[in-house]
Chain A
Amino acid sequence: MAAKYDAIVIGGGHNGLVCAAYLAKAGRKTLVLEGRHVLGGAAVTEEVYPGFKYSVFSYVVSLFRPHIIRELNLAQHGLQLIPLECSFTPHLEGPGLVRWSEAARTRREIARLSPRDAEIQPAFSLAMTKMAFLIKNIIDNPVPDPTSLDPRELKRLADFGNHFLKLDADSFHLHSQLLTMSAVDFLSLWFESEILMAPMSVSGIIGTFLGVRSPGTAYVLLHHYMGEIDGAFRSWGFSRGGTGGLSLACARAAESLGAQIRTEAPVSHLRVQNGRTTGVVLENGDEIEARTVFSSLDPNRTFLRLVGEQHLDEEFTNQIKRYKLRGSSGKVNLALDRIPEFTCRPGIGPHLMGDLAIAPNIDYLERAYDQAKYGDFSERPYINAVFPSLVDPSVAPPGKHVMSCFVQYAPYHIKEGPEFWPQRREAFGEAVIDTLEQYAPGLRDCILHKQVLTPWDMEQMVGLSEGNIFQGELSLEQLLFQRPAPGWARYRTPIRDLWMCGSGAHPGGGIMGSPGELAAKYALQTRGV
């Protein structure tokens, strides 16, 4: 029996590391166990091809909570964020659309499509910013328990409700619309240009097995406006050295606060006795005793694999089994000899220093979803691509570049069955490159190396069940009081002393760091650890 810990955190992704840092900061003897040789989980940088550092999975940092950066001194521990210049939507005809950080320039770009839309943007942003204040409150606090009569819970619930009651009538209706409408319908309340709405609507579907016209997809649009209310502290951009830079900063912070971190230490299962956990058993058979265990793995993996159905009641097990994962996206990482020019906007300029969306119109996006619904990957998918090396030369050799492409849809459940993904991987990668070639002819000739990741690969490599990048869909029925299961939204689990601290817990995924932070703080506050 090895040394006894106050807490073992399973999983060295950003949430696990943030959780460990807060636990260590409170003086708890904490050990992080990561199965892979690198830290970061899905927020990881790896040199898959010599000299080129891929942000293998997640590639842009947008929602990471500013107060976590401050409280854990992450900037001092090496977190460096470089903002994205713009959002570029190339088109097969015409000059494409670039939305710049410079408002007047964006207005002129949009005016070509619709003079009316060009000027409505500020009013839209304002309305969304008001909404984002609500979200901030939700994201930065544990959710109240709506079924409890405990006075403290009732107060939390009242505080929660108060934020809504304070809304003016227009905002209240706007909120109802956001909760119920599709991204496209919601945007259509404001805008008329489909070409403008297409790249805006996709933030409602990222990581979700829904289409831009599916009800309920409007809500996630709000996340885009979170940055507005964090003021100067907003954390939006590329992490220097790739997304793994963020995780490594969290790791250094955790270590500086006294946490221990072990890599290549995969956990086989939890020790559970009389409904309570007493530590973990590693795959190599080592047992490590701990007073509490925090799992940053997804609910499916945590309960069905690490705990085991034999320790859980049937109702809970069924809830976890019904929890929607169904990954819908893939990733293609390219090492490039040079950046190809885009026909609609030649030259290698600032328009390539932000993100780039292959989302030419709404029908294109909906058609991509149509194929996925019936078990195929989209032949012409929505692609969100970035060239981080243009602003962060540290990720590629001088003059060479990295291209990171997020691709949707790539459903985990292809019709042949997910285990057949390896046979379809090559075709999937080709579909992505073919699609990009239409806009940037010559791309194929620039490619030195490619890494194609299907949802199956994500499950195999970093343990994201069904390849869901958020450890469970961010659809309304799986958020707030019900993430991951009704009654278990406060990081506790049916197993005593086992806590959830990953994206499968409130408030969800998107490199926020919040689940890790809130789990640690809540457990400490309730003397759970």
Chain B
Amino acid sequence: MPIPTPFHPRTSEFCTSLQWKEWAGYYAIRSFDVHFDREYYAFRHAAGMIDVTPLYKYDVRGPDATAYLNRIVVRNIAKLKQNQVAYLCWCDDDGKVIDDGTVTRFEEDYYRVTSTDPDFHWFLRHMRGFDVTVENITDEVAALSVQGPNSRDVLRDVCDADMDKLKFFRTTKTRVDGGIDARISRTGYTGDLGYEIWVKNDDALGLWDALMAAGEPHGLVPAGLDAMDVTRIEAGFILNGIDYFNALHSLIERRKASPYELSLGWAVHLKRDPFIGQEALRHIKKDGPPRLFVGLDIDWPSFERLFAKHGLPPEVHSGGWRTGVPIYDSGGNFIGQATSGAWSPLLKKNLALATVQAEHGHIGNTVHLEVTVEYERKTVPATIVPKPFFDPERMKA
């Protein structure tokens, strides 16, 4: 049975739909209202606030913290300045991705790692020879993510940190509402201007109340995972367990993917001190990845015509979908799979994230995606387009 997060007394009060799901062993809200529309639009037009406590969090401390983490992750975090955050992944010896997450350098010898899967064991396994401590603080630190164009205005009104100086992928200590010690990082999973605020569990309700009060004039709305899922697809972000599988959890090779197959090649720093998977990644890079992770823009007029044949208006899944569907080339040969997608109400586009064979993965190529129309399986053309689909200037400005 899942357990409640420290925000539960508040989230459950607002969640009139009673639509919950399990997330990493916690109760998490899918949507507060019956329809997630209002929460989605708040993310894009005002601000949405979502409880992200279930993210796994590990604190790494000690004189060898930098060398230790650099041994595990693909990116060279020695370059990280204090209060800087890096998005990255870590791989097995074969260069296949275990998980993706962030590493934040709070102090010279103090880092925090976030992950999607419970990877504490992996970090413990590689400690030998390093003077570090690794602590699993997942259940001790609560976190809220405030995302959207007004998120900065909300925090400016309630934090003593200089929000205008906090740059993208940076973090700062702050005091919320005059009394709550918190850390804010300018990060998120919506591809928009946004922040994540971390506090001790005991301060969770105080943080929630302070943010809700400060957020009211800025249109802040509590939001659930369904709304966030559409935004993350618009942002082209991968999701472990959906768009790829943890190499340590995969029975067959086909399910494993290198960073180069997940559009994470940019995060791999090969020319540096040794790290897990480095040698394998060198070869994969040299040979070129066999598959590519791509964005698809599903052709709407063709889609509409399939429905029109039945006299129906075009129907799309409400919210994000994550039931993988096959992709074919023009000859009808299987060339990959779309693993998640969504109708983007903002971009007015029917989008999907997909893994396809590398020779079919170039921008502008047309592939054919399976769709089910009135219980019949059909295909519809889709164009490979650059990711992210949505990339507002304000995210980094």
- The judgment on whether A and B are partners is yes
- A residues at B contact (CB < 8 Å): 66-67, 69-70, 74-76, 80-83, 85, 101-102, 105, 133, 228-233, 235, 240, 350, 353, 390-394, 398-400
B132-157 contacts to A, CB under 8 A, are: 149-150, 153
B45 and A391 within 8 A (CB): yes
Taking CB atoms, residues of chain B closer than 8 Å to A393 are 45-46, 150, 217-219
A-binding segment of B64-72, B115-123, B310-318 = B310-318
* Known contacts A391-B219, A398-B218; A228/B45 CB under 8 A: no
Taking CB atoms, residues of chain A closer than 8 Å to B216 are 399
| Docked complex Cα distance between A290 and B149 (Å) | 44
Partner of A398, one of B41, B44, B153: B153
Q: Nearest-CB distance from B50 to chain A (Å)?
A: 18
Taking CB atoms, residues of chain B closer than 8 Å to A230 are 313
**B397 contacts A by Cβ under 8 Å:** no
B316 and A232 within 8 A (CB): yes
| Docked complex Cα distance between A508 and B92 (Å) | 63
| Docked complex Cα distance between A101 and B36 (Å) | 12
**B347 contacts A by Cβ under 8 Å:** yes
A228 and B150 within 8 A (CB): no
A394 and B45 within 8 A (CB): yes
* B318 nearest CB neighbor, chain A only: A232
A391 and B41 within 8 A (CB): yes
| Docked complex Cα distance between A230 and B301 (Å) | 11
Given contacts A231-B313, A231-B316, A398-B217, 4 further A-B contacts (CB under 8 A): A83-B345, A230-B313, A231-B315, A400-B217
| Docked complex Cα distance between A290 and B218 (Å) | 48
A75 and B348 within 8 A (CB): yes
* Known contacts A101-B35, A353-B38, A393-B218; A82/B45 CB under 8 A: yes
A392 and B46 within 8 A (CB): yes
| Docked complex Cα distance between A70 and B34 (Å) | 29
B15-55 contacts to A, CB under 8 A, are: 33-35, 37-38, 41, 44-46
* B214 nearest CB neighbor, chain A only: A398
* Known contacts A229-B313, A231-B313, A232-B343; A75/B45 CB under 8 A: no
A231 and B307 within 8 A (CB): yes
Q: Nearest-CB distance from A337 to chain B (Å)?
A: 12
Taking CB atoms, residues of chain A closer than 8 Å to B45 are 80, 82, 240, 391-394
| Docked complex Cα distance between A395 and B34 (Å) | 27
- What per-residue 1/0 map shows which CB atoms of B341-358 lie under 8 Å from chain A? 001011111100000000
| Docked complex Cα distance between A228 and B314 (Å) | 10
Taking CB atoms, residues of chain A closer than 8 Å to B316 are 231-232
Taking CB atoms, residues of chain B closer than 8 Å to A105 are 34
**B245 contacts A by Cβ under 8 Å:** no
Q: Nearest-CB distance from B36 to chain A (Å)?
A: 12
Partner of A75, one of B37, B149, B217, B349: B349
**B300 contacts A by Cβ under 8 Å:** yes
Partner of A82, one of B35, B41, B304: B41
Taking CB atoms, residues of chain A closer than 8 Å to B347 are 75-76
Taking CB atoms, residues of chain B closer than 8 Å to A133 are 311
Q: Nearest-CB distance from A138 to chain B (Å)?
A: 16
| Docked complex Cα distance between A70 and B316 (Å) | 16
Number of interface residues of B (CB under 8 A): 32
B44 and A80 within 8 A (CB): yes
Q: Nearest-CB distance from A451 to chain B (Å)?
A: 23
* A102 nearest CB neighbor, chain B only: B34
* A348 nearest CB neighbor, chain B only: B216
* A397 nearest CB neighbor, chain B only: B217
Contacts A/B (CB < 8 Å), 5 sampled: A70-B348, A75-B348, A75-B349, A350-B38, A392-B45
Q: Nearest-CB distance from B154 to chain A (Å)?
A: 9
B41 and A69 within 8 A (CB): no
* B300 nearest CB neighbor, chain A only: A70
| Docked complex Cα distance between A90 and B306 (Å) | 42
| Docked complex Cα distance between A411 and B357 (Å) | 66
Taking CB atoms, residues of chain A closer than 8 Å to B219 are 390-393
| Docked complex Cα distance between A394 and B315 (Å) | 31
* A74 nearest CB neighbor, chain B only: B348
Closest 10 CB pairs of A and B: A399-B217, A398-B217, A231-B314, A393-B219, A231-B313, A232-B316, A229-B313, A75-B348, A232-B343, A75-B347
| Docked complex Cα distance between A353 and B38 (Å) | 10
A228 and B35 within 8 A (CB): no
Taking CB atoms, residues of chain A closer than 8 Å to B218 are 393, 398
Taking CB atoms, residues of chain B closer than 8 Å to A398 are 153, 217-218
* A85 nearest CB neighbor, chain B only: B38
Taking CB atoms, residues of chain A closer than 8 Å to B149 are 394
Taking CB atoms, residues of chain B closer than 8 Å to A69 are 348
| Docked complex Cα distance between A399 and B301 (Å) | 42
B346 and A80 within 8 A (CB): yes
Taking CB atoms, residues of chain B closer than 8 Å to A229 are 313
Q: Nearest-CB distance from B388 to chain A (Å)?
A: 13
| Docked complex Cα distance between A81 and B346 (Å) | 7
* A393 nearest CB neighbor, chain B only: B219
B191-221 contacts to A, CB under 8 A, are: 216-219
B217 and A233 within 8 A (CB): no
B314 and A233 within 8 A (CB): yes
Q: Nearest-CB distance from B300 to chain A (Å)?
A: 6
* Known contacts A228-B313, A393-B219, A398-B217; A233/B348 CB under 8 A: yes
| Docked complex Cα distance between A351 and B350 (Å) | 30
| Docked complex Cα distance between A251 and B304 (Å) | 27
Q: Nearest-CB distance from A167 to chain B (Å)?
A: 12
| Docked complex Cα distance between A353 and B153 (Å) | 22
Q: Nearest-CB distance from B308 to chain A (Å)?
A: 10
Taking CB atoms, residues of chain B closer than 8 Å to A232 are 314-316, 343, 345, 350
Taking CB atoms, residues of chain B closer than 8 Å to A399 are 216-217
Q: Nearest-CB distance from A517 to chain B (Å)?
A: 15
| Docked complex Cα distance between A469 and B217 (Å) | 33
Taking CB atoms, residues of chain B closer than 8 Å to A75 are 346-349
* B217 nearest CB neighbor, chain A only: A399
Q: Nearest-CB distance from A397 to chain B (Å)?
A: 8
A83 and B217 within 8 A (CB): no
Taking CB atoms, residues of chain A closer than 8 Å to B348 are 66, 69-70, 74-75, 233, 235
| Docked complex Cα distance between A364 and B105 (Å) | 67
Q: Nearest-CB distance from A485 to chain B (Å)?
A: 34
| Docked complex Cα distance between A281 and B195 (Å) | 55
Q: Nearest-CB distance from B41 to chain A (Å)?
A: 5
B298-347 contacts to A, CB under 8 A, are: 300-301, 304, 307, 311, 313-316, 343, 345-347
Q: Nearest-CB distance from B372 to chain A (Å)?
A: 15
| Docked complex Cα distance between A102 and B350 (Å) | 23
* B315 nearest CB neighbor, chain A only: A231
Q: Nearest-CB distance from A412 to chain B (Å)?
A: 36
| Docked complex Cα distance between A66 and B343 (Å) | 14
Q: Nearest-CB distance from A230 to chain B (Å)?
A: 7
| Docked complex Cα distance between A133 and B313 (Å) | 9
* B343 nearest CB neighbor, chain A only: A232
Q: Nearest-CB distance from A520 to chain B (Å)?
A: 19
* A398 nearest CB neighbor, chain B only: B217
Taking CB atoms, residues of chain A closer than 8 Å to B44 are 80
B46 and A233 within 8 A (CB): no
| Docked complex Cα distance between A228 and B345 (Å) | 15
B313 and A83 within 8 A (CB): no
| Docked complex Cα distance between A25 and B41 (Å) | 31
* A136 nearest CB neighbor, chain B only: B313
Taking CB atoms, residues of chain A closer than 8 Å to B37 are 83, 101
| Docked complex Cα distance between A235 and B153 (Å) | 29
| Docked complex Cα distance between A63 and B255 (Å) | 46
A102 and B41 within 8 A (CB): no
